Amino acid sequence: MGEPLLAPVLRLLEEGREREALALLQTPQEGLPEAERLALLGFLEGRKGDLRAYRTLALEAARRAQTPFTLYHLGLALPPKAGALALEEALRRFRGDAKGEARLHLALAVALERLGRPEALAHAALARLKDPSPWTILHHLRLELFFGTTPLPSVLEEAEPFLPHPFPGVRLLAGHTLALAHLLRGNRGRAGNLLRGLLPLLAPPSLASFLVLGALALDPPEVRLLLEGAQVFLPREGWPWGFYLLARGLGEGDEACLLAAHGLLREDGALYALLAEARLKALGMEVEASLAPELAPALRPEARVLLLGEAGTPLLRLLGEGPLPSLGPRGTEALALLLAHKEGLSGEALAEALYGEPNLGALKALLHRLRGKGLRVSCAPYRLATPPPRTFRPS
């Protein structure tokens, strides 16, 4: 329903011509379904980094018309737990529509991957069976690298033909899959060379996805350039900022960034939160409510080694006088916000970001606890008093 009328817009998006797609969506088109138009406008806002606008427009699109297309975008725009529930319900409603089911299975695979759940692989496989396309094939292969049993050389062999694909998004997804496969095989050099070939293709919307792989495979000067570019363009919330903090923590041995990344990613990028968790543990710091006991058993052995480390993995260098104390979930979120806004935040802005309302009493109590754990926060505006790694001392 409505998709033939959207075909020119979808084609432009696949070709990476987002400005032209936006112009079509903003110009009244006879017969263009309003719900689908809103969903795509939201998608483009999300690509620019405004995740809240994507969520708002996806919710409005689904309110106007619940179709596989609008519910696909709703599932991707919502936080992954809520998105997975919405997509599971949508799959029950739209049985028999093969293309619609494929789209919903693919979105559900993405949401479940963000939660670290192995069922993501099954949904990616169903999406590929129902509508084999470069997108479904590559998403399936990428999830094989986390949860599957397909030999890594076979994944490489299947993914490599997509590297010269005419669509830039396909090339980037293929490159991401191949670089991850090389890292799982312990071949950092090949992963790094492949990523270097993709760097000219990276636009702001695709930066976040490559930050962690870059921190693991590229040389320090290249990682610094990636981080400097990402710091300007990424939204300072959710999984994109969590990936930035994780990459910075991995690249610089920054304990504060690793801790903040773990807090942001544990429910919106759980597999990568495992990586932050393992590096913090290597520094002698235990996180609250460890994810490893629940998530690690489902990982394929190579992914377990990459994300959780192995005996003999070099430790990150310690900064300051010792490991960071645990800050708790809200404290971790506050740390992430302070790291994101080096210029500082007003009390009202910080409290609203943390609590959804300007609750200054709760904010002052939280900051008192954090200062008691060694976090030095200055007032008016609230900001970290010195570079984060050196401000922390165990209490």
For position 107, what pLDDT does the model report?
97
Could you tell me which residues come within 8 angstroms of residue 179 by beta carbon, excluding any fewer than 6 positions away?
191, 194, 195, 198, 213, 217
Question: How far from each other are the two terminal CA atoms of the chain, in whole angstroms?
Answer: 60
DSSP β-bridge partners for residue 382? 345
Rounded to an integer, what distance in angstroms lies between the CA atom of residue 140 and that of residue 163? 16
For position 323, what pLDDT does the model report?
44
pLDDT tens-place values along the chain, 395 residues long = 445 568 888 888 888 888 898 888 887 666 668 899 999 999 999 888 888 999 999 999 999 999 999 999 999 999 999 999 999 999 999 988 889 999 999 999 999 999 999 999 999 999 999 999 999 999 999 999 999 999 999 999 999 999 999 999 999 999 999 999 999 999 999 999 999 999 988 888 888 999 999 999 999 999 999 999 898 888 888 889 999 999 999 988 788 899 999 999 999 999 999 999 999 988 778 787 899 999 999 999 999 999 998 532 333 332 333 444 556 667 777 777 777 677 778 888 787 777 767 777 778 878 877 777 767 788 878 887 754 443 343 33
For position 392, what pLDDT does the model report?
41
For position 353, what pLDDT does the model report?
74
Q: pTM, whole model, 2 decimals?
A: 0.77
Rounded to an integer, what distance in angstroms lies between the CA atom of residue 114 and that of residue 127? 17
At residue 122, φ and ψ (nearest 5 deg) are -65, -40
* Gyration radius (Cα) of the chain, Å: 21
